[in-house]
Structure 1
């Protein structure tokens, strides 16, 4: 009995510590946050929807780089394609190209110290973003840098949902084909991607390079109007609410994790009540525990209100996109979930090019045909074991 009380006390104490740590840590983090809404730019934009084509293009441009390669990824795995990517960075650094690699401490934790040491020896500057630290250890373990930015020679930029690993090119047998959205930009918008990378680099190293003109060459004017939004665990929810409120006839949401919270759920229900069509694409399968179960409590009121929910079965669906009335499209690193809204550092690109938006919409509709429409009848038939998981998933949904 005494042992039971001791264990109970320890568990309660740990829970209390986590709660206090989280709230104080978040308050401290937001006081230092650098939320930025960059100005409208004119860029040329290319959309990649599969890892093979993205990696081929990205690797080729890195091979041809002459001055600098700045890379930020949430995840770089310890597998063959990751080793190929890192070897390429090492090769360019050996040739005298400035190579900086910024990786999230938790997301890229599978990279070995030996691999990173070899990169350093070849001249690659490798730095961790968001190392967990005291006094808010629990909070800093949760608040991740989820951005994926690459800038080559200051004139070519990439941003989107892909990381580096074999699953992103469909080589994970459990997940199969991997659908994602990633953008390549040339033109004015690359300046903002470079600014964001150097801002994150400064946060991790203290090195001030934002005034170094060599990183900011003169940019050509592209054909597509776009605008970046950079968030630090706050403000993204406000933008998404604004998007939903502006919708007149259609909202399309694509996300691997649909855990929006009450505010956005209510806005979606309000949109449905005024006649706006809402269509959501999520994966049939899951790549993390409980994320699918955490989404189901939100599905019920949406289905009853007439929302169309498509479950993509042709592999795994990791695309992150919001489209409003064919007027603008948001593609970036943020998921439609609480972690992206309240914890992660994210960066999204708003696109206002009608032609490009139309092409993206046609692609999304093609994926609708590779999905199963979730009906309310099917929703009601989910097993009891899943319903139990949903209760627990709801309790921890902030951290999924």
Structure 2
């Protein structure tokens, strides 16, 4: 009889989780605000290695004269994160306005003692996307996955890198090192949009409104690259990506650590293959989370059958979030090509319309592909029963992976 009681409890818990998630997301979608930024002109620099990125970012933080605003999904508790936090503390002690916003769950390793130390030094620190009633499960799943840095209102950064030793080529797991990712540095008109997004997230966490403070939005000169900041909050990405895939004429390249497509995007990719478009997808060979690799297999089988090329990156862990369509559009940001990014998380991407930049990006992606092994149809036709079981489980919970 005890097993029947356990079964009833288990069914009740699963039912509550499903209802909580459905009602929570429905409530959020009804109350959210959509922001569509104009096309801007900025100078944009691409970083593909953590040491070079953080050397530049930290140098400019040390040179800050007015303000430093930082939002990261993950800040770890290790020597590299300590170096980052000590930098912020030092700048606050110089009299610079420093604000640090972290996702509550993503940065849960940051010690409370370190947060107090930062605040005592003058750094304004807070956590966003807190787990709260009435939708405990949904709020625990909806993460702020953005990475935004704005220095003096004139220099901005966004992309895939977080703060931790694994992002500078140090990892306790050799199979996940070095970390391969993409991050962008901006100067020009687009920095104002990054600043606005930081201010919106800061207000949500603290109820302190910075958006109308002119000192955070100094005059910006036009840069040389046309682009558009694209923030999303659980909607919009699917339709936007689908539109660009439908318009592709020759080539689509997708780089993502997790490939869990929606029916709309699968139809778009299959349609592109049918009309002769080359589709290339770069993924990591080694997964950093359970089931995410198996979750992709049901999507890869029909894509491979239609002629898509899937590259499994072998030289470390591939964490890039990028899409290139022909030579006229590319997207780099924080959104993975998966349902969690499409339907749950807060993300921020940069849509770039510049052939010169796209050629630079494609050269980097060619390096990724040359460091990869090709996935074949036969690889997926002879998987074990355990792998098939994992696929089924992953499909059932794919939106949460």
Fold shared, TM-score > 0.5 on shorter chain = yes
The TM-score with structure 2 as length reference comes to 0.98
Structure 2: how far apart are the matches of 1:384 and 1:125?
52
Work out whether residues 311 and 374 of structure 1, in 8 Å CA contact, stay in contact via their aligned partners in 2. yes
1:244-323 aligned within 5 A: 244-323=245-324
Task: Show the counterpart of 1:8.
Answer: 7
Structure 1: how far apart are the matches of 2:214 and 2:30?
29
Unpaired runs of 5+ in structure 1?
none
Moved over 6 A (4+): none
Name the SS for the 2:171 alignment partner: coil
Once superposed, what is the RMSD of the aligned Cα atoms?
A: 0.8
Deviations 1:301-339 (A, max 9, x none): 000010000000010000110001111110000000000
Name the SS for the 2:241 alignment partner: helix
Task: Show the counterpart of 1:388.
Answer: 389
Task: Show the counterpart of 1:42.
Answer: 41
The answer to whether 1:149 aligns with 2:148 is yes
Work out whether residues 160 and 182 of structure 1, in 8 Å CA contact, stay in contact via their aligned partners in 2. yes
1:21-170 aligned within 5 A: 21-170=20-169
Classify 1:382/1:173 alpha carbon distance in 2 versus 1 (closer, same or farther; 3 Å): farther
Cα deviation, residue 384, structure 1? 2.6
Structure 2: how far apart are the matches of 1:59 and 1:221?
24
Deviations 1:30-61 (A, max 9, x none): 12222222100000000000110011011111
1:180-219 aligned within 5 A: 180-219=181-220
The TM-score with structure 1 as length reference comes to 0.98
Structure 1: how far apart are the matches of 2:371 and 2:304?
20
Work out whether residues 35 and 235 of structure 1, in 8 Å CA contact, stay in contact via their aligned partners in 2. no
Structure 1: how far apart are the matches of 2:58 and 2:151?
11
The answer to whether 1:375 aligns with 2:376 is yes
Structure 1: how far apart are the matches of 2:160 and 2:33?
21
Task: Show the counterpart of 2:344.
Answer: 343
1:324-339 aligned within 5 A: 324-339=325-340
Cα deviation, residue 378, structure 1? 1.9
The answer to whether 1:361 aligns with 2:362 is yes
Unpaired runs of 5+ in structure 2?
none
Work out whether residues 280 and 310 of structure 1, in 8 Å CA contact, stay in contact via their aligned partners in 2. yes
Work out whether residues 74 and 145 of structure 1, in 8 Å CA contact, stay in contact via their aligned partners in 2. yes
Structure 2: how far apart are the matches of 1:288 and 1:366?
25
Structure 2: how far apart are the matches of 1:128 and 1:363?
34
Deviations 1:194-228 (A, max 9, x none): 00000111111111111110100000110000101
Work out whether residues 34 and 231 of structure 1, in 8 Å CA contact, stay in contact via their aligned partners in 2. no
